[in-house]
A and B are shown apart, each in its own frame.
Chain A
Amino acid sequence: MMNQIRYSLQDLWRHRVNSIILLLETIMLLVIVNLIVWSLNDAQNMKNEIQRLNESQEIYGLIDFTTRMRQEELFQNDSSIPRLKKLYDLIYENDQVKAFPLYSSNIEFQKSSFGNSGFLSTSETNVSIPFLYANDRFFEYFNISPAEGKSFDSTDYEKNSDIVPILIGSDLTFKFKIGDILEPIGGLRYQVVGVLHEGSSYIDIMASRDFKNLDKMIILPFNKNLFVSPIDHSAIISRAYLTVDDPSALSEILQRSAETDTLSFAFKSMLHQSKFVAQDKEKMLQLQLLLSSLILIFTFITVTVSYLQFIEKHIYEFGVHILSGATPKDLMIRLGGQFALLLILSNLLVPNLLRAFANLSVSVAASALLCVVFLILPMLRLGRMPMTSMLKGRSR
């Protein structure tokens, strides 16, 4: 057995260019299988989440129709702030509706003081960590809660403090822990009060139409004291989601908003929108599956052809080994061993390549299946070939 594994290693080394190509093809095969499974899971999760959200109270998203020119007028003039505040109050401080924003942006840190930031978005000098404003309705609606520490309390949404309490995604615990005070660029300071469960996410149906993972994000309390400029107000208003007991409250908001002479917008039912999102997602998934399957078939054929070519090239050598006392089983170990070694290497590399998309059990299952196929192939090829033909089949 060990001798055959040694021969496998020697074969791989002797045909190192082919081996590298075969390794790349094997990696590609595993990557495609992983991505297909990930896409299927993602689509199923989204379907489940949309179903869950629609089972609760109907939610409306705000669609902003304000022209660019109008926006510029509002943003350049601080006198628009009281009017925008009025609109803000109509949406967020209205007893007839329950609203939450899905507004996110970035908090910038000095790269030099940050340490290892490999998996975060970085520029030459800064490290950017995305943040999202959240209130209790957001946590309730998307079933999000901290795994450690505490969530925000009612004063966190109101008090005007120098230090803003924050919740961090699980991936950020490599750098921050509960109680730490963060000092990013810009003057405001933040204190970590809780860490979210790993894999926490929300779905932004009106905008990106995808799950947004919170593992690398920071959550800030939705506190109006944090909004000072017209841009802040406009951004937070246009990313509003609302639930209402009586839909006439929405018409009232629209009527009264006209009086503020600020933003032009309408409300759209998420239930209605989610049907289109689900349809789009399904179409996209079908296309992805079709393309992935084609690539998968193509890659599988290439790997198989490379493998069969290797067997053909070595038929005479195998014949010499048979003459010296080898059995077809020995040759199968030698051939299968090569592929098994490539698969082991691929399984070590694929998680690093795909990171969050990688699924070890899928890779291992696909590898096991490939191993069986690539043990059967030489068995079929060599098993049907008489030893005398092997010794005639020289192609060195």
Chain B
Amino acid sequence: MNIIEIENLNKIFKTRQNHFQALNDLSLTIAKGEMIAIMGTSGSGKTTLLNILGCIDHASSGSYRLNQKLIEGKSLQALASIRNRDLGFVMQDFALVDHYSVQKNVLLPLNYLKDHKLRKERAARLPALLEKLHIRHKQIEKVMNLSGGQKQRVAIARALINEPEVILADEPTGALDQKTSQEIIQLLRAINQEGKTIVIVTHDPNIAACCDRMVRIEDGRIIEDTKLILSV
């Protein structure tokens, strides 16, 4: 079953002088539980694609279905709810608020969850989640005092707290050393094996090698879509 279906997606950035087509008639489907790497050179359109998948940007034309639901035409409120409940984000610069504690950062998505009962239930799982990511001892520490690897674990914990089906990762190891990068990618793999769909944007072939599938983009088009046999 496909969890993500995009069809003939175009994204044009307009400035006063010129137009830039970041995505060009791009179509892609991602199956539930898949771990997919989207590769490409800088400016190829991979981050633009991830932003559209994450409902933080919109396509100029084409259709995007997440979990069979059409995303185009949804209100800002509805898109915010999708980002909150159906998607988790892991970014290269961690996208954490430095002056918040680990706990406050991880629980942030729960503040925007409308269901109070669910909010309580999920918040109760915080210690176990932090334990699983080996950052339980940092629970009340301010994020600014953590190492890069610890920060990325906090970001992963935040991405998981609301139990979304899809995790979107934009260069998740871009700011980390090789050893920490390996740990993070193993962590993402383990999360994928629990059934989460993971989309990773990267230009690192070693990371792509750990995924089930690799899609290469150039000039906003898919030029390669390969199923990978080897994984970590």
Contacts and interface: CB of A to CB of B under 8 A. Distances in A.
Interface of A: 3, 14, 316-317, 319-330, 386-388, 391, 394, 396
Contacts of A387: 56-57
B27 interface: no
A324 B56 contact: no
A321 to B, nearest CB: 7
A329 B98 CA distance: 23
A18 to B, nearest CB: 15
Contacts of B108: 320-321, 324
Nearest to A386: B57
14 contacts: A316-B97, A319-B95, A322-B56, A323-B56, A323-B83, A324-B84, A324-B109, A325-B84, A325-B111, A325-B113, A327-B77, A386-B57, A387-B56, A388-B57
A321 B93 CA distance: 15
Given A320-B108, A325-B81, 4 more contacts: A322-B56, A322-B83, A324-B84, A326-B112
Contact of B111 (A3, A317, A319, A328): A3
Interface string B92-123: 01011111000000001101110000000000
Contacts of B51: 388
B187 interface: no
A388 B95 contact: no
Given A388-B51, A396-B98, A324 B83 contact: yes
A322 B80 contact: yes
B36 interface: no
A324 B158 contact: yes
Nearest to B55: A387
Contact of A325 (B93, B98, B109): B109
B216 to A, nearest CB: 22
Contact of B56 (A14, A321, A329, A391): A391
A330 B114 CA distance: 13
Contacts of A317: 97
A326 B99 CA distance: 19
Contacts of A324: 83-84, 108-109, 111-112, 158
Nearest to A391: B95
A373 to B, nearest CB: 23
B64 interface: no
A317 B89 CA distance: 15
B76 interface: yes
B76 A14 contact: no
A388 B85 CA distance: 19
B56 A330 contact: no
B198 interface: no
B56 A388 contact: yes
Contacts of A394: 93
Contacts of A323: 54, 56, 83, 89, 91, 95
Nearest to B77: A327
A391 B99 contact: no
Given A326-B80, A326-B112, A330-B112, A320 B96 contact: yes
A3 B89 CA distance: 22
B80 A327 contact: yes
Contacts of B95: 319-320, 323, 391
B42 to A, nearest CB: 15
Contacts of B109: 324-325
B89 A325 contact: no
Nearest to A394: B93
Closest 6 pairs between A and B when the two form their complex, measured CB to CB: A325-B84, A325-B112, A387-B56, A324-B109, A327-B80, A324-B108
Nearest to A326: B112
Nearest to B89: A323
Contact of A327 (B76, B96, B99, B158): B76
A316 B85 CA distance: 21
